[in-house]
Structure formats: structure tokens, C-alpha cells
Amino acid sequence: MHRESQTVLVLGGDGYLGWSLGIAIAHRLGDKVVLVDKLVKRVWEKAVGVKVLVPLARPSERIREYERIYQKRNLFFEKIDLLDPKATTHVIRKYRPAAIVNAAQQPSAPYSMMSPKTAAETFSNNIVSHLNALWALAEIDKSILYIKLGSAGCYGGVNTDYIPLTKTDFSFEYGGGLRKIVQSWLPMHATDFYHQSKITDFLIDDLGADLWKLRVITVQQATIFGATVEENHPEDHRGLITRFNYDHVFSTVLNRFVCQAVIGHPITVYGEGSQRTGLMSLPDTVNSFLNLLNLDVGRGEHRVIHNYTHRLSIGEIAESVRKLRPQARITYLKNPRRETESGLAKQIEVHSSLQEAHNEKEKKFLRELEIMMGFVERYKDSIDPSIILPKVRWER
């Protein structure tokens, strides 16, 4: 079906997911894409002494490389501090996009637990910038589709056997009687300040849609793994590579395990390894967001998407990596985090737009893992083992 090109703002466009989304939307859909970022993640990485696997050029240089490779001039960058409400309103008013994807997050639970300063930065960056964006939409154009990156970790501390996509009715026994809650979201429970900020983000989405009749999608995103999408996988597209963290602060678990296996470092599992997490490859995540740009969302509607394809324990993830690197050794460390290691097996309701991502998912999982192994092999000499092991603990 023919689709007219439009303008899309990607907030957090210098990030791991934001940059990948930006080049995919621009290249595959032909939309005009404006990447919005204040480049603060680069500052945070430097402050905590970590580095990415492949150094990142400035946004202007990366965009020139995109234009050279694809012969298109539909990718742009604006350095904007979303904590400034006037600047946020200005950039949205300037471009009048059809859709905004907000991936402008401080994305790390360990970073949020390092100090009062980093906890406050997490709340400020994630909550205030999000509120500024919604407020701007309410003033400028309520028809703009707003897609907010959430986190499946919001449910991490909830001992439930089912996570619905919509509000529902709940019954429970208390005080000698059967009580009811009518039309409510499943209660969420955080185990760190990062995920607490994401719970607040979710509730702000719900309030903004209801109060101002905005069109809002919250993507409760599982842990993303992988390094490339089709636009930046070829070796001669190195200039389009996205941020790839493998350290103890900003990396996701599977990315970290793969780097450890490739350099012959023991794969370090926190705790018993029985804690479970959702997983989704970077290519599948990008594809799902592209599909969401065409989702029919009404005014005043808050649509929730559970963005995942797999649910595995940390121990199972480690074993998956060892299948591809049989010589890898798995070791167990005292868990520096507060994570649930047992509980009810969660069934998670999946939106119809995601059904395709679940087809042949086991085969795809191994294929994506092999692709990531190959990518990390290219740059394994850049891996610094000293930044991998955990140094941040939840307990005080």
C-alpha cells in the first residue's frame, strides 16, 4: 500500500535505539527524520569512565555518511535540551511532525543507583523532558502521534501470572471481604530508581492522553540485544554504527555476555541466574516501531505495546551464548542488584502488530546472536575488560 512520506521527530536520536530508528525510518520509509538530542549520554559515559565498542563521530558527520551511502538528504539533527520547555516547544513547532518517537532516556538502572546526583539526573531527564514534550503537543497539535519508549522492567517487581495490554477489572480479598478495582492498569513495582522513573512516565502518558486528548503509545520495551540493523551492518557502513555499550553501567545483559565470551572472559551471571527478563533483538525492535508509526490511535487514546519476543532467565541467556562459544566459562557473582529470582511465571499479552516478530523466534534468536558475535569479533581488540564487572550496588 502506498504511504505518503511525512516528518518524524526522534527524541534521543544520538542513542543506541534512537539512531537505529532514525536511519531506518529515513531509509526504508523515506520520511524526513529529525534527530533531537543534547548529547548528554556521551557526557555520562565519560563521567563514569566507560566507553563504547566503536567510537561515535559527531551527529553531523554520521548524517553526511548516511547521505553518501544512501544518496538521500532526509536525515537532520537538532541539538536541543528537552529539559528546556521553550526549546522543546520550539523544535516541535518548527517541524510540525506527524509523529514523535521519544527515546530520550537515561537508560541505565545502575547509573540511577550510583548516587543522589545520578538518581536525580535520571528522574529529571526521563520525567521532566517527557512532560515538556507532552505539554508542547497539547499546545501545538494534539493530532501528532506520540510514541514513548517505556520499559517492561516496570513489571519486574510484580508477582503476577498475567500482564494485560489494557485497563481491566481486579478482584481481591481483604478485610474479610471481596474487593474490586474497576478499569485500572496492572499495578507496577520498581526495584531501582530508573524503573521508578519509567512507571511515572507511563502514568504521565495515561494522564496526558486523558486530560488533553493526545494520541499516545507507550512501548513497554524488553531488554534489547544486538549491534546492527540492515542500514549499518555491512563493514563499509561503519560510519553508521550505533552506540554499543558493553560496560557494567550502560550495557544490556546479552551484549555484555557476548563481549565477555568473544574475548575469553568468564560470562558473569548475577546471583543464581534464575531472574527472568524479556528480550528483543535490535532489528525486531526497530521493525516494531516502524509498524507503530502506522497504528490507528484515536484522540484521547493511550495504547500500550509489550515489545518483546523472548522471556529467558539470566542463566539461560548465558547458556545461549555458550552454545555459540562452547569454550566460554560461566561464573556466578553475588547479585549487586535487587531482583526477583523466583515467582509466578508471567504470561504477557501481545499486541497484534507484534505477532510477526514471534514467528520462528527461536531460530531468529540464534541467528541474531550469531550476527552480533560476528560484529563484536570485528572490534574485539577495542574491548576493555576492566569496565565490565559490576561496581554499583543497590544496597546502602
Q: Among positive and negative, which fits the CA dihedral 149, 255, 353, 32?
A: positive
Q: What is the CATH number of the domain that holds 318?
A: 3.40.50.720
395 belongs to a structural domain: no
Q: Is residue 340 part of a domain?
A: yes
Q: Which pLDDT value is given to residue 396?
A: 80
Q: Is the residue at 229 inside a domain? A: yes
Report residue 288 CA to chain centroid gap: 12
Write out the residue range of the structural domain in which residue 164 sits: 7-387
pLDDT of residue 123: 98
The total number of structural domains in the chain stands at 1
In this structure, is residue 161 part of a structural domain?
A: yes
Answer yes or no: are the C-beta atoms of 154 and 188 closer than 8 Å: yes
Domain assignment of residue 383, yes or no: yes
Tens of pLDDT along 33-60? Answer: 999 999 999 999 999 999 999 999 999 9
Q: Residue 1: its pLDDT value, please?
A: 46
Residue with cell 574475548: 263
Assess if residue 393 is contained within a domain: no
Please check whether residue 351 lies inside any domain of the structure. Answer: yes
Positions in the chain short of pLDDT 70: 1-3, 341-342
The pLDDT assigned to 305 comes to: 97
Q: Are 36 and 9 in contact (CB under 8 A)?
A: yes
Task: Identify whether 104 is part of a domain.
Answer: yes
Q: How high is the pLDDT of residue 352?
A: 87
Compute CA 361 distance to the chain's CA centroid, rounded to the nearest angstrom.
19
- At residue 2, the pLDDT reads 56
